[in-house]
């Protein structure tokens, strides 16, 4: 067991990180925090939408739902009942490269929480009826979030389908209804065997616990789960984009135009990636951002400019390929070309001129605050920190790297920002998507 505890400045960030690997390959990360009597237990499996089988789009997410439908020691939804009747909240989510399951509870229930996650790591035990039920639930999730919602696929699904060329990255991870219909119990078994082994997972415990005790309990519950084969690696790479791509699509439910512009980011973890994170702060985050000033305040094209890295989270909890996106809603009498011209008027100078240090310093402060913001979870206390720890354990092989993030931002120079803008904010590196509204007015009754 290794531990790292950086010294504490007045109001510094220092997340205690205790790492252990069990005999079956399960990595365990414990981060004690005694500021409140709560505990968050999270299990992250290193499989997400990108690795689901062709012909089974949406399966990684459907599988996530099935992990609440019963296992050897728990009936359908009993895990939700157990968490609830012990005073906690639970959830799960499916992302590009991982699927997570987590609960936050009063801290005296740690033993039970670990037992629950160990039980379902042994595998879902479900019937066709339960699969059919969750298939309907998932279809209703897609309806409420995408099909029955104006701008429902904008830009997260629309853009990945157009900006990426590799099927793993480009396909719709919510899934085609036909693919969801085709999924059977044999798919469940195969997907579990391939991706849900202990060695392909990280267990994170954050909150009111003693690390030695938490690790000992983790051993008791998880170490006897048989190790499985390591899944084959997939080629998720995207080629360097050399030509701007432009698309538009109609949205019958929308009544106003929308525009999104996405650029491929530098490789995650690289110095350039952190420079890109600062460019994001500089360009779109907050009301001091350059694009906000130009598009909202100076030109009045839109009321807000949104965007960032990673449609399904933030820059610290995902692995490239990723997109940095600018998105906005605008009146129909403003042409997309005019907005693109405004964007270029802001971005092009960053590709030719070295940024003043004072601008970079402010971007770094904002990036730090944004990082701290990801750690604050009101409904699931501790889950934000657990998420960062799991992401760094999965993607960099060491959860304690979370304590290096601020140093990586601080190491970015104006020259690196310039070089990053020159390569990654090229027009040829971007995909433009315009939404053409199909609804003529509000559906007022």
Partner 1 sequence: MTAARPRPVPGPQAPFRLPPREVTRLGNGMRATFVAAGTVPIAAIRLVIRTGSADVPQGQTWLDRFVHEYLREGTATLDAAQLAEAFASIGGRFSVDADEHTTVLRTDVLAEHAPRAIALLAEIARAPRLPDDEAARLRTDLRRNLDMALVQPQFLTFAKFRSALYGTHPYGRVIPQGEVIDAFDAGQARAFWAAETGAQRAHLLVGGRFDAQRVTTAVHAAFDDWSAGPAPVDVTPTPTRGRRIYVIDRPGAEQSTMYVGLPVIDPTQPDYVGLEVTNMLLGGSFHSRITMNIREDKGYTYSPYSAVSSRPHDAYWVEAADVTTNVTGAALTEILGEMDRLGATPPDVAELAGIQNYAAGSFVLRQATASGILDSLEFLDMHGLDAGYAEAYVDRVRAVTPETVQRIAATYLPSAPVTVVVAGDRAAIEAQLAPFGPIEA
Rama region for 79: left / alpha / beta (φ>0; ψ in -120 to 50; rest): alpha
CB atoms < 10 A from the CB of 181, how many?
12
Token readout for 106 is 């009063």
CB atoms < 10 A from the CB of 413, how many?
14
Interactions with partner 1, residue window 315-344 (CB under 8 A): 329-331
Closest distance of CB 197 from partner 1, Å? 13
| Total number of residues that touch partner 1 (CB under 8 A) | 94
Interactions with partner 1, residue window 26-55 (CB under 8 A): 33, 35-38
Is 118 a residue that touches partner 1 (CB under 8 A)? yes
Interactions with partner 1, residue window 182-211 (CB under 8 A): none
Interactions with partner 1, residue window 247-266 (CB under 8 A): 253-256
Is 127 a residue that touches partner 1 (CB under 8 A)? no
Is 229 a residue that touches partner 1 (CB under 8 A)? no
Is 3 a residue that touches partner 1 (CB under 8 A)? no
Is 362 a residue that touches partner 1 (CB under 8 A)? yes
| DSSP β-ladder status, 38-45 and 430-437 | unpaired
3-state SS class at 216: helix
Is 221 a residue that touches partner 1 (CB under 8 A)? yes
Q: Is the Cβ of residue 218 or residue 310 nearer to partner 1 in the bound state?
A: 218
Is 219 a residue that touches partner 1 (CB under 8 A)? no
> Rounded to a whole number, what is the distance in angstroms from the first to the last CA of the chain?
64
Is 366 a residue that touches partner 1 (CB under 8 A)? yes
Q: Contact at 8 Å (CB) between 289 and 327?
A: no
Strand ranges for 295-429 from DSSP E? 306-309, 323-330
Contact mark string toward partner 1, 269..308, x via CB under 8 A:
----------------xxxx---xx---x--x-xx-----
Is 104 a residue that touches partner 1 (CB under 8 A)? yes
Closest distance of CB 425 from partner 1, Å? 21
**Phi, psi values for residue 264, rounded to 5°:** -65, 140
Pairwise CA distance, residues 318 & 209, whole Å: 27
Pairwise CA distance, residues 90 & 81, whole Å: 10
Within 67-224, residue ranges assigned H as helices are 78-85, 110-121, 128-142, 156-163, 167-170, 177-182, 185-195, 211-222
Interactions with partner 1, residue window 145-164 (CB under 8 A): 145, 147-150
Closest distance of CB 164 from partner 1, Å? 27
Closest distance of CB 155 from partner 1, Å? 15
Interactions with partner 1, residue window 230-249 (CB under 8 A): none
CB atoms < 10 A from the CB of 127, how many?
12
Question: Could you tell me which stretch among 137-145, 183-191, 241-249, 263-271 binds partner 1 (CB under 8 A)?
Answer: 137-145
Closest distance of CB 236 from partner 1, Å? 29
Element containing residue 258 per DSSP (H, E): strand 257-264
């Amino acid at each position: 067991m290794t531990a790292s505890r950086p010294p504490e400045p007045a109001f510094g960030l220092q997340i205690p990180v205790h790492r252990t690997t069990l005999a079956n390959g399960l990595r365990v990360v414990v981060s004690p925090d005694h500021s409140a009597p709560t505990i968050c237990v999270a299990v992250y499996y290193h499989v997400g939408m990108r690795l689901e089988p062709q012909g089974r789009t949406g399966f990684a997410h459907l599988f996530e739902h099935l992990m609440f439908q019963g296992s050897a020691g728990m009936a359908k939804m009993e895990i939700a009942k157990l968490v609830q009747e012990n005073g906690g909240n639970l959830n799960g989510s499916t992302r590009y490269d991982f699927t997570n399951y987590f609960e936050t509870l009063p801290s005296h229930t740690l033993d039970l929480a670990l037992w629950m996650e160990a039980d379902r790591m042994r595998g879902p035990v479900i019937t066709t009826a339960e699969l059919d039920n969750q298939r309907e639930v998932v279809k209703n999730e897609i309806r409420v979030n995408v099909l029955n919602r104006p701008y429902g696929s904008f830009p997260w699904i629309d853009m990945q389908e157009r900006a990426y060329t590799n099927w793993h990255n480009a396909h719709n991870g919510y899934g085609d209804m036909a693919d969801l219909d085709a999924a059977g119990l044999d798919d469940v078994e195969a997907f579990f065997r391939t991706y849900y082994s202990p060695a392909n997972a990280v267990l994170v415990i954050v909150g009111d616990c003693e690390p030695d005790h938490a690790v000992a309990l983790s051993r008791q519950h998880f170490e006897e789960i048989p190790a499985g084969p390591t899944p084959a690696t997939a080629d998720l790479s995207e080629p360097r984009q050399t030509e701007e791509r432009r698309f538009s699509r109609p949205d019958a439910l929308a009544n106003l135009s929308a525009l999104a512009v996405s650029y491929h980011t530098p490789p995650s973890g690289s110095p350039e990636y952190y420079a890109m994170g600062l460019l994001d702060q500089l360009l779109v985050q907050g009301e001091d951002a350059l694009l906000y000033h130009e598009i909202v305040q100076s030109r009045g094209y839109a009321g807000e400019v949104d965007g960032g890295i990673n449609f399904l989270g933030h820059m610290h909890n995902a692995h490239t390929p990723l997109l940095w996106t600018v998105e906005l809603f605008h009146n129909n009498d403003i042409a997309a070309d005019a907005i693109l011209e405004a964007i270029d008027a802001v971005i092009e100078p960053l590709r030719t001129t070295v940024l003043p240090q004072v601008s970079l310093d402010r971007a770094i402060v904002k990036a730090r605050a944004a990082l701290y913001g990801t750690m604050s979870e009101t409904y699931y206390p501790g889950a934000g920190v657990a998420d960062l720890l799991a992401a760094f354990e999965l993607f960099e092989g060491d959860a304690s790297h979370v304590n290096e993030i601020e140093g990586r931002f601080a190491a970015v120079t104006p020259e690196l920002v310039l070089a990053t803008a020159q390569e990654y904010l090229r027009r040829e590196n971007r995909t433009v998507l315009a939404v053409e509204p199909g609804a003529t007015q509000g559906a007022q009754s």
